[in-house]
Structure formats: structure tokens, C-alpha cells
Structure 1
Amino acid sequence: MSQSKFLGTLRLAFLLAFSLLLFSPSVVSAAPQDSGYRVIRTIHLGGEGNWDYVTVDADARRVYVPRSTHIMVVDEDSGKLIGDIPGMNGLHGVAVVPEFNRAFVTGNKTEQEGTIYIFDLKTLKLTSSIKSNSIDTDSLIYDPLTKHVFVNNGDGMNLTVVDAATEKVVGTMAYNANPEAAVSDGKGSIFQDLEDKRSVIEYDAKTLTVKNKWPTGPCVSPVGMAMDRTHRRLYVSCRGEGNVPGVLIVMNADNGKVLTSMPIGIGVDGNVFDSGTGDIFATCRDSGDGKTGATYVFHADSPDKISLVATVKTIYGARTVALDPKSHHIFSIGTEQNEPPAPGAKNPRPRPVLSTFELLEIGK
């Protein structure tokens, strides 16, 4: 064979091999895919007061945003502020109970008096309040099975249970630890993470008897929790501590086994699971640059495996999250502008400019 023919044959073989490699399934699947998740709407709210949790009522098309002493009510579709409920103090979260036309709000009249406020969903007027008989009344969930509202008192290290129909305290339980997020499995169990004990407990929603207590393994400072009820999986977000980074872990809800963990950003304070898409969202205060926040989106590839599909840059302080299961969008809150940390601050963080407070909507 002549040298020219040999080189031509070699060139053809090389091109054929390269084409097969380029279009092989393994290479194509390894290429990064655009999930499509992004901030699709920014709603400027401004106003006074710090913030904690955000709540979506997908059926009523409302978003509730507690702000220290008042609750901003936003029309989810138009983005307009349709109400502002005053007369409260030290607010944290809202649990909507449409079957009784009321919502329960965690707050603190004083540092020594935790309070559960109640407002009418139609009139958006305060109707009553209940003493939590504890301090640092913080997160809460409503369990439709028992028709009870489960209220966590952080520094009080205990639980207050309220009957949603009668608005009466019907139970208490000591954690002897700092509670953060809780979820119901809809079958009579409540799962609760204990931040300072690096653990998750399961207790009976009716008797308040602890059934199980499990360590969270690589998860330090667990603060957020969501559940895949179908596959009995808990998704727990963890802030980390010192040199230990924040992570999201997957836990078997039947035996407490930690199945996997994935790294996330700084200052997570919530995560949700969308059963319609199989996606998990974890919202972090700081993306790592000290100026912006980040939402980490994972997909449940199987009951025991998750993969990162998107990291969406948000605004600094957007650390809590609420899901609309109908639109498959999530909402978070924070400020567009922040001032430098106060001189000599023990835990220096940017200070929010409240006039730039915003509600973010993330979706495809």
C-alpha cells in the first residue's frame, strides 16, 4: 500500500472511531444537562421586620410571609400584596388549616412568653392567641390525620400540641434538645430533627411517645426536613459546623439508616420534596461569596440515590423555602441589598437592607 493510501485509510479509521466515541450513550449521558431551573420571578415587597419561614397555600393561591410583627399576604398568581396582618410579635411560621378556615402562627410576645396566634383565612383578621407555655416558639406543622398543630419551641426544647378545631393545647412533650423541622408521614408518625443532638426522632402523633431515635451520621446541625411518603425516605438538610460542611442526607424512615449525602452551601434553613417531579430543593443563605444565596436542586434517581441537577443563585438570606405542588415552583425570601457586617460582630454577616426585601419564585 502506498504511503498516501495508508495515511488516507488511517485518517478514515480515526474519524470513524472518534464519531463512535462522540455519540456513544455513555458519553452523551455524561454531558451536563440544563435542568431549566431558574429564578423566574422576583416580587419586591420591602416593608419592615426580619423573616423566617415562608408558607404557600396552593389551593387558595396565597403566599404568607411573616415579618417580625406582621404577616404579608401575597397573591401567588399576580404577585400583588393583598393583605398585611398586624398585631403580633416575634413571628416565625404559618400553618394553614383550610378545613377550619384558620391559620396558626408561631410568635413570641416577649422573650419569656411564646405565643401561637390565630387568624381567619377569609378576613385575614386576628381572632385569638394561645400561650405556648414555653419560649422561642418557632416552627410548626399541621397534621390532618390527628387535626393537631405541632409547635416546636426551640430554646424551650419542647413541643406544644394544639387541637386545630378547639384551639386548645392538648399535649406537650420534652425533647431535651433543640428542635427544628418536623414532617408527618400521614399514618400517625411525626419525624423531628434535633439540631444539637445530631439526630432524628420518630414519635406517635396521638400519644407523643417516642418510637425511635437515630443519629444523622455525616449531618451536623440538622435543621430542614422533607419526606417522600411513597418510598419512606427522609431528606434532612444540615448546616454543618466548623470545618464540617453543610450536606443533604437521605434517611430510611423505617430504620434510620443514612443512605447517602450530598454537599450543599452555607446556612441552609429548609428543604422540600416535590413528589410530582421527584426533585428536592435545599435553600442556603450564602452561596459562598458572602453576597448571594443559593438553592440546590437534587433529583431522586431511586429511593437510595440522589443527584444534583441545578444550583440556582438567589439573594443573600434566602434560606427558607415553600413548595407549590401544583406549579412545581418554590418560593424563598431575602434581601437584594445588604450592608457590611457590624464592626466587632461575634458572627459577622451582611446586614439586610429591608427596603429591598423580595419574594423569589424558582421553577422552570
Structure 2
Amino acid sequence: MIRLTSLAFAVLCGFYGNASLAQSSGLKLTDALKIGGDGGWDYISFDPGRQTLYLAHGSFISAVDLKTGLASPHLADAKGAHIALPVHGGLDLLITQGKADSVTINDAATGAVKAEIRTDAKPDAAIVEPVTGLAFVMANKGGALDAIDLTTSTLAGRVDVGGAAESGAVDGQGLVFTHLEDRNAFVTVDARTLKIVATHPLDDCEEPSGMAFVPNGRLILSACQNGIARVSNADTGAEVATLPVGAGPDAALYDARTNQGYIPSRDGKLTVISFAGVPHVIDTVTTGSGARTATLDTATGRIFLPTAEFGPEDPKTGKPNILPGTFKVLVVSR
């Protein structure tokens, strides 16, 4: 009986492995949107209603109208911006001002500041929780999640998460998740009570950055700086899978239409993960060097990845110089 079971298992594993190798996502690099402007960048966000991309460059915000193809290289000034998140039905943007320890609410059309709200130190990522309608800001150096009341543009409360909050996700049922990049863990917060539900270690995952929630199986997809993606049970923290990705990943996306996850990385690879059955890698799409962050158009499946052209390495920072005027957004689609 043991021998027969082992043989059957081996046959199934062989079949599963061959099937995985035979799969392809059908995704490929299809376009490059020229934006221009200088300097680096962090998160990119997408407003499906206005069909507009917003990009945080630290000292300014840029935008691209996909309907017209027109770019606004300098929509608004910023002080260490990490994300420009569409709020109020796309009429406004919530911009995290990492060097000012605040967030601003800006007019999405003109960039004008409508309100400023103080936060804990170095606000980074931000996400809107749909049940409460609150925006949750990950204060990286402040070790907290700051809840912003978008109706009154005020601070509604804060949650001390005990580490460097980095990226975030929601389950659509009132829970907010964030990584603690300095503790290799993720925290679950109840958006209604502003209380921590649980903190789960992420074994094998170093400095987790990008995060996505996968409703199918209630999973957390984490991008890890040691070149893996970790898939965890969102409720227990148990490891479900660890998968190889490119070097320097900084985002994680999930597409419910295809039941696939995406991890972009600095070395120009977009790793495609299938969540049909046991999570597994089905494809690696070549994008471009530096394309480490991304956003998703959930209606069409298009993936947008900001990057630029690079010159020689800067001897002071050890990083390649960004060539002026070469900033662009790559488009990956089927």
C-alpha cells in the first residue's frame, strides 16, 4: 500500500510539474507611455473611473490620462511623497508626505491642496478600507497605522503596530493588513475598532514590501527582498507556499479575473503566480530594469509599471543614475 501510494504521488507530481511548465499567462510588454520629468519614484496608482494613472516622485506627483494619452509631468508639489491615492470617487488624491509627517488631500484635476492632516512619522503607503470608508496610512518610521476620515479630512485614530509598517491590503470585510518590514511579519487590524487582531511572523521572507490579499482561500501574497514571494493564510499566518521571484521586488498585485498574482522586481521581471490549486509560478514576463512597482486595471487586466532609462552608477550612492527626461510607464497586457 505504501509503495502504491508513493508511486501514485510521484506520477501526480510529475503530471503537475509538466502541466505547470506548459502553462503561460499570455502576458507581454505591449506599450511604453512616455511621461518625462526627472528623479525617482515610488508607488503608482490607477483611477478606473477617470482612467488616470498617478505617480509619486518624492518632490512631485505626475499623472497620465489614458483616454487622451496626455501626461501631466508635474501635477502637484510634494514633500517626500510615496503614493497619490485616488479618493472621493476620483475627485481628489490622498498624498503621503513622507518628509512632512502628514498627508494632504489634493484636487485630482489641478493638484491644489484642499487639506493637510498630521500623521505619525514617515507616512508611506495608503489604502482605503471599504467597510468603514477610512483611509489607512502606513507610518513607516512611526510604527503605526493612521486612520483618516475622508469625510472630514481629519485623523480618526491610530494603531500602534510595533514595527515599520510597509504596504497594505484589505479583505473587503473590515480587516486591514500591513507588513512590518523590520520584523519580517504581517499585522491584521480591525478597521472598525482600530485594534490589532493578530501579528504573524513571515518565516523565510526578508524585509517584506508589496502585499496583496487573495480572496480565493483568504491568502496574503508578500513580496520579499530575498527574492521570494511568500503566500500565507491571512487568518492564521501559516505558510502556504514560497515561490521564486526577481531581485528587488517592491509590489504585489492580484487579479480576480484570472486568479493570478503579479510580483514586479527591480531586475525587470514580472513574476506571474497562479492561485489555481497550490500557488505556483506559471510565467516570467520581461519588463524593464527598475520596474519594481506596479498597479493593475482590474477591468482589463493591464499592468502598469513605472521606470526610466539609466546611466552609469553614481559612486556616492552605488545606484545607477536616472537619465533626465526618460521616465515612462510600461504596459503589460494580453
**What TM-score do you get using the length of structure 1 for normalisation?**
0.82
Describe the shift of the 1:27–1:172 C-alpha distance in structure 2 as closer, same or farther (beyond 3 A).
closer
Aligned mates of 1:28, 1:180 — CA distance in 2? 37
Q: Is the 8 A contact 1:98 1:121 kept in 2?
A: no
Aligned mates of 1:78, 1:130 — CA distance in 2? 33
Deviation, structure 1 residue 141: 0.5
Question: Higher Cα Rg: structure 1 or 2?
Answer: 1
Find the counterpart in structure 2 of residue 87 from structure 1: 77
Aligned mates of 2:60, 2:21 — CA distance in 1? 47
Aligned mates of 1:211, 1:248 — CA distance in 2? 23
Aligned mates of 1:193, 1:282 — CA distance in 2? 16
Match of 2:304 among 320, 331, 339: 331
Describe the shift of the 1:355–1:214 C-alpha distance in structure 2 as closer, same or farther (beyond 3 A).
same
Aligned mates of 1:26, 1:97 — CA distance in 2? 43
2:164 corresponds to 1:178: yes
Find the counterpart in structure 2 of residue 8 from structure 1: none
**What TM-score do you get using the length of structure 2 for normalisation?**
0.89
Match of 1:276 among 252, 257, 261: 257
Describe the shift of the 1:31–1:105 C-alpha distance in structure 2 as closer, same or farther (beyond 3 A).
closer
Match of 1:57 among 14, 26, 47: 47
Aligned mates of 1:360, 1:69 — CA distance in 2? 22
Q: Is the 8 A contact 2:35 2:64 kept in 1?
A: no
2:241 corresponds to 1:266: no
* Partner AA of 1:272 in structure 2: L
* Superposed CA offset, 1:176-223 (max 9, x none): 311111111111111111111111111111222111111111211111
Deviation, structure 1 residue 100: 7.8
Find the counterpart in structure 2 of residue 20 from structure 1: none
Match of 2:295 among 306, 322, 330: 322
2:333 corresponds to 1:358: no
* Partner AA of 2:241 in structure 1: T
* Partner AA of 2:330 in structure 1: L
Moved over 6 A (4+): 25-28
Find the counterpart in structure 2 of residue 13 from structure 1: none
Aligned mates of 1:162, 1:87 — CA distance in 2? 21
Find the counterpart in structure 2 of residue 243 from structure 1: none
* Number of aligned residue pairs: 320
Match of 1:154 among 130, 135, 140: 140
SS in 2 for 1:150: strand
2:126 corresponds to 1:126: no
Find the counterpart in structure 1 of residue 96 from structure 2: 106
Q: Which runs of 5+ in 1 are unaligned?
A: 1-24, 241-245, 287-292
2:65 corresponds to 1:75: yes
Aligned mates of 1:96, 1:31 — CA distance in 2? 39
Deviation, structure 1 residue 318: 1.1
Aligned mates of 1:46, 1:183 — CA distance in 2? 30
Find the counterpart in structure 2 of residue 343 from structure 1: 315
Which range moved further: 321-330 or 153-162? Answer: 153-162
SS in 2 for 1:295: strand
SS in 2 for 1:268: coil
Deviation, structure 1 residue 31: 5.7
* Superposed CA offset, 1:251-273 (max 9, x none): 11121111111011111110100
2:130 corresponds to 1:144: yes
Deviation, structure 1 residue 150: 0.6
Match of 1:208 among 170, 184, 194: 194
Identity %: 27
Deviation, structure 1 residue 233: 1.1
Match of 1:96 among 86, 91, 109: 86
